[in-house]
Homo-oligomer: A and B are copies of this chain.
Amino acid sequence: MSEYRVLIDADDAKGLVYRVSSIFYNNDLNILSNSEYVDKDNNKFFMRSVVDGNIDCVELEKSLKEALPSNSIVKIISPKKKNIIIMATKELHALGDILIRHEAGELEANILAVVSNYDKLESLVTKFDIPYVTISHEGLDRSEHESKIIECINGFENVDYIVLAKYMRILTPRFVETYKDKIINIHHSFLPAFIGANPYKQAYDRGVKIIGATAHFVNNNLDEGPIIAQEVIHVNHAYSWKDMQRSGKDVEKVVLSRALKLALEDRIFVYANKTVIF
């Protein structure tokens, strides 16, 4: 008896829950938990079930696809550690939080490597016996630099997610397209406020009373991909923008880890530049 996560992304139609649950029933599967969402405006149906039983994944997927509208996406996932690559630049807090969670066994993930354009974080990462690859951007144009990174990433098999833990360079459409819906970024602002550079300075200048952070998938438009998680903290007039930045780090690391956990547990559906999260 094993546990599986069944993810269904389909056009909405009558009886979808019935069709799916009857297949579960006929396969003698026990439903441990079940979440559904129907977006009427877009006529979309999403379902995530955790089931328990003896199954032939290929057969089950086939049965489900036959019972569902023709363009449906069905995933049957046996829970196991996913493979992630972390990209970082110079800041330690978000990366460090992931390393500690990994060390504590909190993450269903293998960290294949940390890739950075600087060597600053190498001594930290190698403490944890995780490969650290420095790919400097100096003397390279953006495309050349990214080619080297892609080459590096392609050296690893079955990369499930690329986590940008304060990777401070803009990615090209080619890079983003290569790892579509696989790149998770932490943006140091409560998007869509303060898009772009130095959001803490922008927030300070505007005199806001709350600052925040946003974890999102990366798409071609900077800071505009589907949002996974957001969190905020209260600030006041006595905060300089450096203080906001310092406090913001705590929010950033919390939000990035939360988003990563959701991804690792297969809880996120992406559509219409949004996420459905179960």
Partner of A192, one of B15, B93, B193, B274: B193
Identify the closest chain B residue to A246 (Cβ).
Answer: B106
Apart from A37-B237, A206-B273, A207-B227, list 15 A-B contacts with CB within 8 A.
A14-B25, A21-B21, A22-B22, A93-B104, A96-B100, A96-B104, A100-B100, A190-B193, A206-B274, A207-B226, A209-B229, A209-B230, A210-B230, A236-B277, A237-B275
17 contacts between A and B (CB under 8 A): A15-B21, A17-B21, A17-B24, A18-B18, A18-B21, A18-B22, A33-B38, A34-B34, A37-B237, A37-B238, A93-B101, A191-B206, A193-B193, A207-B273, A209-B230, A210-B230, A236-B277
Q: Which residues of B contact A232 (CB under 8 A)?
A: 210, 212, 232
Q: Which residues of B contact A273 (CB under 8 A)?
A: 206-207
Task: Give Cα A277–Cα B275 distance, bound, in whole angstroms.
Answer: 23
Q: Which residues of A are at the interface with B, using a C-beta cutoff of 8 A?
A: 14-15, 17-18, 21-22, 24-25, 30-34, 36-39, 41, 92-93, 96-97, 99-101, 103-104, 106, 124, 127-128, 190-194, 206-210, 212, 226-232, 236-238, 240, 246, 249-250, 254, 257, 272-277
SS class, residues of chain A in contact with chain B: mixed
Copies of this protein in the assembly total 4
Which of A18, A38, A128, A275 has most B Cβ within 10 Å? A18
Task: Give Cα A252–Cα B128 distance, bound, in whole angstroms.
Answer: 23
Task: Give Cα A128–Cα B193 distance, bound, in whole angstroms.
Answer: 38
Task: Give Cα A238–Cα B246 distance, bound, in whole angstroms.
Answer: 25
Identify the closest chain B residue to A254 (Cβ).
Answer: B250
Task: Give Cα A261–Cα B41 distance, bound, in whole angstroms.
Answer: 25
Nearest CB of chain B from residue A125's CB, rounded to whole Å: 11
Partner of A18, one of B25, B210, B275: B25
Assess the A206–B227 pair: CB atoms within 8 A. Answer: yes
Assess the B193–A208 pair: CB atoms within 8 A. Answer: no
Q: Which residues of B contact A207 (CB under 8 A)?
A: 226-227, 272-275
Assess the B36–A34 pair: CB atoms within 8 A. Answer: yes
Nearest CB of chain B from residue A18's CB, rounded to whole Å: 4
Identify the closest chain B residue to A272 (Cβ).
Answer: B207
Q: Which residues of B contact A39 (CB under 8 A)?
A: 237
Nearest CB of chain B from residue A6's CB, rounded to whole Å: 13
Q: Which residues of B contact A228 (CB under 8 A)?
A: 209
Task: Give Cα A232–Cα B232 distance, bound, in whole angstroms.
Answer: 8
Partner of A210, one of B14, B206, B212, B254: B212
